[in-house]
């Protein structure tokens, strides 16, 4: 598996080795031993699967108690995946990193605890799978507004309005959000 670190400490892009032939393909999307060699010792306890149409924007989500690291990949379609450093003591607090994840490129993003996460669907339809290191706890769920000017995410909306859930539309500004120390 190839990997590279992003400018935000702990946030890692992973690209599995894919074996393809005339029948199709095979790859390991997760192997505990391989991840441990990369310094990722997390124990994943839950898998989530979402499907969304074009221009749906989900996020920026995190859990303040029962925090979750995430391993994100796309199995159908294409998304613009984003992580925002919300660790107040981090030198990159409030900075973001975005990457295209797709069924075609098979890249994955490891999002450690201390980051808010979100994505925008770029294809007609996308299905996103992600592992988490803790269970969903609705009382701990938090949202930072997708268009917070202090973060300045350059979402590739191409003039379209994002489709948001009511919860995501009510997200807090980073300056008012409960974040990690």
Query: What amino acid positions are annotated as catalytic residues?
Result: 61, 130
Count of domains in the chain? 1
Q: What mean pLDDT is predicted for residues 51-79?
A: 98
Q: Is residue 23 part of a domain?
A: no
Give the mean pLDDT of the chain: 97
Q: How confident is the model at residue 149 (pLDDT cuts 50, 70, 90)?
A: very high
Q: What is the CATH number of the domain that holds 127?
A: 2.60.120.10
The pLDDT of residue 15 is 96
Whole-angstrom CA distances from 121 to 14, 70, 131 are 20, 18, 19
Residue 24 lies in a domain: no
Q: Which residues of 54-74 are buried (b: 16+ CB within 10 A; e: fewer)?
A: eebbbbbbbbeeebbbbbbbb
Containing domain of residue 34, as a range? 2-17+29-176
Per-residue confidence (pLDDT) for residue 118, from 0 to 100:
98
In a domain, 166, yes or no: yes
């Amino acid at each position: 598996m190839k990997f590279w670190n992003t400018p935000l400490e702990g946030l890692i892009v992973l690209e599995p080795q894919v074996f393809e032939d005339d029948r199709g393909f095979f790859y390991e999307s997760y192997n505990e031993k391989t991840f441990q060699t990369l310094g990722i010792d997390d124990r994943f306890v839950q898998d989530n699967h979402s499907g969304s149409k074009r221009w749906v924007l989900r996020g920026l989500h995190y859990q303040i108690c029962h925090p979750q690291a995430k391993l994100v990949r796309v199995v159908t379609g294409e998304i613009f995946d984003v992580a925002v450093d919300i660790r107040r003591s981090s030198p990159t607090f409030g900075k973001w990193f975005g990457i295209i994840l797709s069924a075609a490129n098979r890249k994955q993003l490891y999002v450690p605890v201390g980051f808010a996460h979100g994505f925008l669907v770029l294809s007609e339809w996308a299905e996103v799978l992600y592992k988490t290191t803790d269970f969903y706890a609705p009382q701990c769920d938090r949202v930072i507004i997708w268009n917070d000017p202090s973060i300045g995410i350059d979402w590739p909306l191409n003039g379209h309005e994002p489709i948001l859930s009511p919860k995501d539309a009510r997200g807090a500004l980073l300056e008012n959000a409960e974040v990690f120390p």
